[in-house]
A and B are shown apart, each in its own frame.
Chain A
Amino acid sequence: MDEVVAVVGWQQSVEAVYRSDADRLWRALFAYAGDPDIASESVAEAYAQALRRGPAVRDPAAWTWRTAFRIAAGALKLRRADAGSAETTGDRGRLDRYADPDLLTALSQLPDAQRAAVILYYYADLPVREIAARLGSNGLAVRANLSRGRRRLRDLLGDDDG
Chain B
Amino acid sequence: MAELYDRFRSLDRIAVPDLWAEVEERAFAAVPKPLNRVRGRLIDVALPGLTRSTSFRLALVLGALILLLIAIALATAGRDRFTSPLLFTTSAGGALYALDRAGADPQAIFEGNASNIQVSPDGQYVLFEGGGPGPTLARTDGSNSRTFAEGAWTASWAPDSHAIAWVTGQGDQGTLMIADVDGGEPRRLPVPGRVEPHLSWSPDNVHLAYTGCEPGDPDSLCQTTASMLIVDTISGELSEFGTLYPAKPPVWAHDGRHLAVAVWPGGVDPVPGGVIPGEGPALVSVDAVTGGVSTLMTATASNVISLAWSADDRRIVSLMAPFSGGVDIASVPTEGGAVERLAHHSVGWPVGSFFDRGPAWSPGGSHLAWTELDDGSTETYSLWVMDLADGQLRRIAGDVLGYANSVVTPLWSSDGAWIAFYRKPSSPTYEYEWPYIQRVGGEGSIWIVRPDGSDERLVVDDSFGVDVGRADW
Contacts and interface: CB of A to CB of B under 8 A. Distances in A.
Contact of B65 (A4, A40, A119, A161): A4
Contacts of A23: 16
Interface stretch (A79-87, A94-102, A127-135): A94-102
Contact of B23 (A4, A48, A123): A48
A123 B60 CA distance: 36
B35 interface: no
Contacts of A157: 7
Contact of B20 (A15, A27, A159, A162): A15
B185 interface: no
Interface of A: 1, 3-4, 6-8, 11, 15, 18-19, 22-23, 26-28, 30-31, 40, 43-45, 47-48, 51-52, 95, 98-100, 103, 119, 122-123, 150, 153-154, 157, 159, 161-162
A103 B60 contact: no
Nearest to A64: B23
B23 A153 contact: no
A3 B7 CA distance: 46
A3 B56 contact: no
A119 to B, nearest CB: 8
B60 A47 contact: no
Chain A contact residues: helix, strand, loop or mixed: helix
Nearest to A14: B23
Nearest to B5: A122
Given A15-B20, A159-B4, A98 B14 contact: yes
27 contacts: A1-B68, A4-B61, A4-B65, A8-B60, A11-B57, A11-B60, A15-B20, A18-B20, A22-B16, A27-B14, A28-B11, A30-B11, A31-B11, A40-B19, A47-B19, A48-B23, A51-B24, A95-B14, A99-B10, A99-B11, A100-B7, A100-B10, A103-B10, A119-B8, A122-B4, A161-B2, A162-B3
Interface string B42-72: 0000000000000011001101110110000
Contacts of B30: 48, 52
B22 interface: yes
B329 to A, nearest CB: 43
B13 interface: yes
A100 to B, nearest CB: 4
B8 A103 contact: yes
A15 to B, nearest CB: 7
A27 B15 CA distance: 9
Given A27-B14, A99-B13, A18 B23 contact: yes
A150 B1 CA distance: 9
B433 interface: no
Contacts of A51: 23-24, 27
B412 to A, nearest CB: 34
A4 B4 contact: no
Contacts of B33: none
B16 A27 contact: yes
B71 to A, nearest CB: 8
A95 B63 CA distance: 42
A142 B232 CA distance: 68
A44 B18 CA distance: 10
A31 B19 CA distance: 18
Contacts of A11: 56-57, 60
B17 interface: yes
Contacts of A45: 26
B234 to A, nearest CB: 50
Given A43-B19, A98-B15, A8 B8 contact: no
Nearest to B23: A47
Contacts of B57: 8, 11
A15 B51 CA distance: 15
Contact of B14 (A30, A122, A154): A30
Contacts of A153: 4
Contacts of A15: 20
Given A100-B10, A153-B4, A26 B16 contact: yes
Contacts of B8: 31, 103, 119, 122-123
Contacts of A27: 11-12, 14, 16
